[in-house]
Structure 1
Amino acid sequence: MELVAELELELGHPCQANAYLTPPGSQGFAVHSDSHDVFVFQTAGSKQWEVHGAEGVDDVLLEPGLSMYLPTGTPHAARAQDSVSLHVTLGINQLTWRGLVERAVAPALATVSDAHLPAGYLDDPAQLVGGLADRLDALAREVRRLDAGAAAEQEVRRFLTSRPSRLPGGLHDVLAARDLADDTPVRRRPGHPCVLLDRPAADQVEVLLGDRSLTVPAWIRPALEEVRARPSFTPGDLAAHLDPQSRLVLCRRLLREGLLEAVPASA
């Protein structure tokens, strides 16, 4: 889970992992292609891959420790050899400029009337010309009024509040929050972002945590910047920004929200 989460934050694209255990001499799927990029990692046994490219078919033998990259749409099939075979794939579900533009212009499209087309236009397409031209002109005006900066921020917010929840040991952290003291060590949970978006109109900061967001007063921002910069710390390390009670309240909240995790005594 940590690998997928870290990869998503590094690339900015949704990722997934799958494991394929295949009996000796068996083939899992016929030749097929995937709608996303795939990285293949052979972990046990071996597999013979049939990979279709622009210049023909390549036969590739993957053994433990070897890997292969299959771009989106590459036809392929794999067959285990003389022993049980296990390989893991990492899939990259790419976000595209077209998708971003579609999401950005959606509010403008919503202003277009959803009234029905006039009867008889199939025999006389000219009936559509004037109305379509007017609507396209109006849509163009709405698109020109769009704020690209706001749309870009919304895209970041959409991604960093919709990741799958990954909180192993979360119950332990919730319980640990009760006994948190100024010298209790805590650390950032791997694969969890801490992106800060200012909301000046409300004098607040929104904290994007991956699967949710948290809104806090703007004066807490320097302390959150400190949290972002440190892989591990104690509440007392925030003394330059918050009083003792406030920093304990903040760290307890971040433990409950999953951004932080308690450091085991043996760590």
Structure 2
Amino acid sequence: MLTVPRGENCILPCSFKTGADVVIDWIQGTEGNLVHSYHHSQDQLSYQDRRFRNRTSLFKDQISRGNASLQLTGVQDQGRYRCFTSTILSKKESFIHLQVDGRKIQQMQTVQVKNNITCSSEGIYPEPELTWSTNPPSNMSFNTTTRVQQTEQQLYNISSSLILSDPGTDVVYSCTISTRRNNGTATLFESSKKGSDNVGGIIGGVVAAIVVIAAAAVTCVVLYLKKRSTTDSTPDSAAQQTVDLPMSPLETG
């Protein structure tokens, strides 16, 4: 088995016993995809699988010495490769399994909308897995939805959404995206009871201030009403004046 990082170049080894009329055919997979063909002392690429076009070559100066190794660029096609060689004297068939190594997780995106947090990453290989965790660890069950999509370049995009069941708890939420070779972790959300306590303290202070103001207002109203009542019970100065009315003629007689 040959393991190569995705996108790198590699050499698939193959050798044969030298002789005249050399034929070299490289075939990939059980479907018989033609990777590279050589006979009549030159490349024969008319039937080459389009995925391998401009990505394969032989060591022409070493074929006469029995070297049928294939150079493959931009590795992305893992699987079993068959090297078939023949000359006027003999035939030979050999196999090699190419495994494409993981592509490093370079970036993770995190988004939070209300009580929903999303973790995602793109351009990963091989197919990744995504897991959620908390710090400190807990036994809570996560309400998640995870999607994995494969692109035309045989890379993978992954996205997972988590619905927070109790946003008020003092917990750090993290997601980890991993493959066989590497992984990445992102801290997505942290809620603290201290923040809630501060808000409660502020609200309590505001309520207390309102109560004090209301009490002061009631006191002022009571004092005002009391003063007014006292004023109303005192005889008016104009009412205390004696009005002398004119005497009638009978009274004057």
TM-score (norm 2): 0.23
More strand by share: 2
More helix by share: 1
Higher relative contact order (CA 8 A, sep 6+): 1
